[in-house]
Amino acid sequence: MKKILLNENDIPRAWYNVLPDLPAPLPPPLNPGTGKPLTPDLLQPLFPDALIEQEMSPQRWIPIPEDVLNVYRLWRPTPLVRAERFEQALKTPARIYYKNESLSPAGSHKPNTAVPQAYYNMKEGVKRLATETGAGQWGSALAMACCFFGLKCLVYMVKCSFEQKPFRRSLMHLWGADVHPSPSATTQCGRAILAVDPHSPGSLGMAISEAVEVAAQNPDTKYSLGSVLNHVLMHQTVTGLETKKQLEMIGERPDVIVGCVGGGSNFAGLVLPFWPDKAEGRPMRFLAVEPAACPTISRGPYAYDFGDTAKLTPLLKMHTLGHGFVPPAFHSGGLRYHGMAPIVSALASHGAVEAAALRQNVCFEAAQLFARTEGIVPAPETSHALRAVVEEALAAKQSKQERVIVFLFSGHGHFDLNAYDAYLAGQLADDEYPQEKIAKALKDLPAV
């Protein structure tokens, strides 16, 4: 079978919260002022109560509100697709399946959390959401979600992407958002960064600082984050829950589950619903793929750090390259964050998640093979998962093993064609992040 399809009434009715099933309690977020675990009241200026509750909830299943399901129905359930033509091109005995999240209106998995976040804010009377975006996938997903629930949306877009990716900016405008290049002169922390470096290319850490500052100073505005936090990963479990059902329908068991990681949300959404099986001893590998230019799990320590450059956020225990990290301007804007979701970091430190760090040219090569065999043009972020899948498939060929590989196809690359032009022209740099810069950024880790 090529496509494994579900019916609308197969959309999950509850998200899976992994917190009660982790091998050890997740280290709590800390108040940077006191070094003590954060109390919920400190989060109240930034997030609605419902999301703060989800962030710390001990409850395994959280019901999905009917109004959210109604929006999910616009594109969910998504198909699980067997990449047979891709397999044939690789001459592999492995069977490769992808969960196609590029079919959402915004073209990525991000609306899976943007929609509930906008919904809960609307329910609690919030008028506007402020957020950051890298390449624009998150900003556009949130702009669309705000549009559905009558909220205003303010987006700080990393400056180098604002300039490189004009079409996602257009999409955000179409869905009614205000978009500023970050660092900007509209916030105190933006002005402070510009005073030191007027030509700063920006970073997600800086854009987060700007959005958090606006939310903290305006009672009608709250902040929204597209990855990293527990509730965001939980909203993304709709993909893994559907995939589980789809694999059961055809009697397949995954040997390895693969996803690219920026903050960790698409990867976690796919793998977490399989965690209870793995924890019980079913052999299954979880592989997180990151860029060599932003090797958060592979080369960053597991330590408490700020989520943003201006140190406005609580401290999270996570793999980090340091909150001062400014990645080189490579093309996977969605994978340029200095930190990693605390849940993914904890599972990695437990040995349950493996990481691979790949250079961008080999990723684009795999993406081109995918486009030429399966048709869809992958987002540059997704190309990292694809390259790892190629390597798994070739390893299966070498060892003459059947192997079931499942990966999350996180988004399409229709707005990233300038990156493909650069790849085809042989102009993509293949930087690894230099060790001395990592060492320098890590010097500023907060002492706890």
Q: CB of residue 208 vs ligand PLP: minimum separation in angstroms?
A: 13
The closest alpha carbon to 356, from 221, 213, 258, belongs to 258
Which one, 257 or 396, has the nearer CB to ligand PLP?
Answer: 257
Report the distance separating Cα 153 and Cα 144, nearest Å: 9
Query: Shortest gap between Cβ of 269 and ligand PLP (angstroms)?
Result: 8
Q: How far is the CB of 127 from ligand PLP (least distance, A)?
A: 26
- Residue 378: exposure state from Cβ atoms within 10 A (0-12, 13-18, ≥19): buried
Closer CB to ligand PLP, residue 263 or residue 322?
263
Candidates 173-181, 191-199, 379-387, 388-396; binding stretch for ligand PLP (CB under 6 A): 379-387
CA distance 195 to 351: 43
Nearest CA to 93 among 351, 427, 403?
403
Q: Report yes or no: 275 and 416 within 8 Å, Cβ to Cβ.
A: no
Q: Which residues of 304-321 are buried (b: 16+ CB within 10 A; e: fewer)?
A: bbbbbbbbbbbbbbbbbb
> With contact defined as beta carbons under 8 Å apart, do 140 and 175 qualify?
yes
- In the DSSP assignment, the letter for residue 400 is T
Q: Round to whole Å and give the CA distance between 272 and 234.
A: 9
122 vs 353, beta carbon nearer ligand PLP: 353
Give the shortest CB-131-to-ligand PLP separation in angstroms. Answer: 12
Query: Whole-number minimum distance, CB 227 to ligand PLP, in Å?
Result: 3
In angstroms, what is the minimal distance from the CB of 138 to ligand PLP?
6
In the set 153, 411, 419, 433, which binds ligand PLP (CB under 6 A)? 411
For the CB of residue 55, give the shortest distance to ligand PLP in the complex, in Å: 16
| Residue 379 near ligand PLP by CB under 6 A | yes
Site string for ligand PLP, 218-237 (x = CB under 6 A): ---------x----------
Nearer CB in complex with ligand PLP: 212/340: 340
Question: How many C-beta neighbours within 10 Å does residue 205 have?
Answer: 27
Residue 156's Cα: distance from chain center in Å? 17
Determine the residue with CB nearest ligand PLP: 411
Q: Which residues from 77-116 bind ligand PLP, rule CB under 6 A?
A: 108, 110
Q: What minimum distance in Å lies between the beta carbon of 222 and ligand PLP? A: 20
Is 239 a binding residue for ligand PLP by CB under 6 A? The answer is no
- Nearer to ligand PLP by C-beta: 94 or 232? 232
Count of residues near ligand PLP by CB under 6 A: 20
Q: Using CB under 6 A, which residues numbered 306 to 345 contact ligand PLP?
A: 334-335
d(C-alpha 443, C-alpha 255), whole Å: 39
Please, which of residues 121-160 interact with ligand PLP by CB under 6 A? 137-138
333's enclosing H/E stretch is: none
Kindly report the CA angle at 256 between 250 and 258, in degrees rounded to 5?
105
Binding range to ligand PLP, per CB under 6 A, among 26-34, 301-309, 377-385, 416-424: 377-385
Measured from the CB atom, is 17 or 108 closer to ligand PLP? 108
Q: Rounded to whole angstroms, how far apart are CA atoms 72 and 54? A: 19
Rank residues 254 and 262 by Cβ distance to ligand PLP and give the closer one: 262
Residues paired with residue 304 on neighbouring β-strands, in sequence order: 317
Per-residue string for binding with ligand PLP, 244-283, x by CB under 6 A? ----------------xxxxxxxx----------------
Task: State which H helix or E strand residue 109 sits in.
Answer: none
Interacting residue with ligand PLP among 104, 140, 230, 382 (CB under 6 A): 382
Smallest gap from residue 14 Cβ to ligand PLP (A): 21
Nearer to ligand PLP, 130 or 141 (CB): 141
Q: Which is nearer to ligand PLP, 327 or 411 (CB)?
A: 411
How far apart are the C-alpha atoms of 97 and 70, rounded to whole Å? Answer: 27
Please enumerate in sequence order all residues whose Cβ is within 8 A of that of 433, keeping only pairs 6 or more positions apart, or say none: 292, 293, 294, 295, 299, 321, 327, 328
Give me 37's structure tokens.
């675990």
Q: How far apart are CA 245 and CA 316, in angstroms?
A: 33
Cα–Cα distance for residue pair 341/18, rounded to 1 Å:
13
The reply on whether position 243 binds ligand PLP by CB under 6 A is: no
* Chain residues in the site for ligand PLP (CB under 6 A): 108, 110, 137-138, 227, 260-267, 334-335, 379, 381-382, 410-411
